[in-house]
Amino acid sequence: MLGMRGVVIWAAAGLLAIPASAATLTVLLDDSSEMPLALIRNGELQDGIKRDLGYDLAARLGREARFLVLPRKRLTAALSSGQADLLCLALPEWLPGPFDWSQPFLRNEDVLLTLKSLPEPHHPADLKGEAVGTLLGYAYPELERELGGTDWRDDARTALDNLHKLQAGHLGHVVIARQFLEYQLAHGLRLPPLHPWLAVAEYNTRCAVSRKGQVTLAEVNHAISLLQSSGGLSRLLQHYR
């Protein structure tokens, strides 16, 4: 069962049992999240890095994790009002608002995929005049600097939507998170012939902490530090290689 794997991870990490009367930690995530970050069915979070991370951080904070899945356009209001306590694996550029941001702790990279039938780009500037598949609501400052403005963007709701456009030949270029791409390829994704991936950005994602929530920024940073120093983060990620 999907849910049992996370239980094993937390037990192996040596976390103390949470009292039945423990307060909750409401973890927010958007409903377009995909594996390995999240598996969402019928509005319920069932698996993924965000789920395991939420449970781990909640345990280290002496709380019980609760997950709130909302459309991207509702995230800012939910977090700023205190309806949720934190949202993890994001960047301030992706989610502007009156939040506190944790220390960076999980590295990722955006790569450019280009169909083999097109000229190979060696630098982002080579994409001038071309449409590039991107994710709705995400910022790509490096590409915006190179290509100017945002007219080059062809937004999709999910990363899989972009890959389907690439497979169908509706797009020749797609920017995608490497972590997502490698997971999908390892789980059976088939892509058309492509040029070698071109790295366009590296970043370390963080957690946005509500200023009206039940936990402080200092508490969240302490829990993240413990997660890293204990090896818990590495063990968690290993399940999604």
Q: In terms of domains, do 154 and 92 share one?
A: no
Residues 141, 194: one domain? yes
Query: Do residues 64 and 12 share a domain?
Result: yes
Mean pLDDT of 50-78: 97
* Residues 195 and 171 both lie in one domain: yes
Total domains, the chain: 2
Let me know whether 98 and 123 are in one domain.
no
Q: Are residues 113 and 102 in the same domain?
A: no
In this structure, what CATH number is given to the domain that contains residue 76?
3.40.190.10
Q: Same domain, yes or no, for 188 and 225?
A: no
Q: Assess whether 118 and 209 both reside in one domain.
A: no
pLDDT tens-digit readout, 152-191: 999 999 999 999 999 999 999 999 999 999 999 999 999 9
For the residues of 146-203, what is the DSSP string, one character each? HH-SSTTEEEESSHHHHHHHHHHTS-SEEEEEHHHHHHHHHTT-----BPPPEEEEEE
121 and 39 housed in the same domain: no
Residue 38 shares a structural domain with residue 88: yes
Let me know whether 221 and 176 are in one domain: no
Asked if 77 and 33 sit in the same domain, the reply is yes
Angle at alpha carbon of residue 3, lines to 239 and 107, rounded to 5°: 35
Is the predicted pLDDT of residue 12 greater than 90, yes or no? no
Structural domain of 155: 109-202
pTM of the model: 0.89
Q: Is the dihedral of CA 103, 7, 26, 76 positive or negative?
A: positive
